[in-house]
Each structure stands twice: as structure tokens, then as C-alpha cells.
Amino acid sequence: MHEAELLEKLRKIERLYAGAATPGEKEAAADAMRRIQQRLKKTEKAERPIEYKFTLVDGWSKKLFIALLRRYDLRPYRYARQRRNTVMVRVPKSFVDDTLWPEFLELSEVLQQYLEDITHRVISGSIHADASEEDVIAGEYLE
């Protein structure tokens, strides 16, 4: 997958979570973002935001999640002494359940696959052509 294909795939996911219904909406990523932000504002009026703690597995996921929060004008933070992979945010539960977390999971999967593909190409092209996993040997491991 090339970078342009990745970007288009990410935009499609965004439009999906915005609830785009017409062909014109499907072509306008900016409009999709506005729809999600409007939905969040309506939800915040009907439902009190609660504090969420997200623990993300790697730096790429954390960067993606923080960018997604900021896109929706949500403020990511963490408390002093919390681990660096922790992200806190105050947001309505229904927005997390219906939009934020499912969209993050889809975006993360696409991005992880892209990073995996690039890593494989770079390693096999510059270090060694066989970039497959290691062999698993039957028996007991002794230190």
C-alpha cells in the first residue's frame, strides 16, 4: 500500500463514522469531521462527560489516539506519575462507544498494517531478503 492509498483509506474510515449518507458527503472529509464534532456537541449537552483512562500499547497508537482526540476538540492529558502510554480524556460515554473507540480501532489497524508493510520492505530490501519470523524449536528453554 502506498502513502496516498493509506490516506484515502483513513479518510474513508472517517467518513464512515461521520454517518455520511450522500455521494457529496462521501467525497468531503472536512464535512465528515464537522458532522462528528456536531454529534459530539449534541451528546455533551444530553450526557455529562466522564473521565476515561486509555492505556495504549505503543507510541504509534498513542500518537494516533491523541490526534483523533484533538481533531474532535477533546483535550488529552495524563496525571503526574502516570505512565507515558496512558491518555486521559473527559468525554461522553456514548461518543466513546459509538464513534471514538471504534474509529480509533479501525484507523489503528490500517496504520499498523501500513507500518508493518513498510518495515518489512525496508528490512528485506536493505538488511536481508528473508525478514520472516524466527524458527520455533521444540524442547525446553534453558538459561
Q: Is the pLDDT of residue 16 over 80?
A: no
pLDDT at 135: 86
pLDDT given for residue 132 in this prediction: 82
Taking the C-alpha atoms of residue 59 and residue 56, their distance in angstroms, rounded to an integer, is: 8
- The 3-state secondary structure of 1-23 reads CCHHHHHHHHHHHHHHHHCCCCH
**b/e map of 62-94 (b: 16 or more CB within 10 Å)?**
bebbbebbeebebeeeeeeeeeeeebebebbee
Reported as a single tens digit per residue, the pLDDT across 70-125 is: 988 899 999 999 999 999 999 999 999 988 999 999 989 988 888 888 888 888 88
Distance, in Å, from the CA atom of 101 to the CA atom of 84, rounded to the nearest integer, reads: 19
Q: Which residue has the higher pLDDT, 132 or 31?
A: 132
Specify the pLDDT at position 81: 95
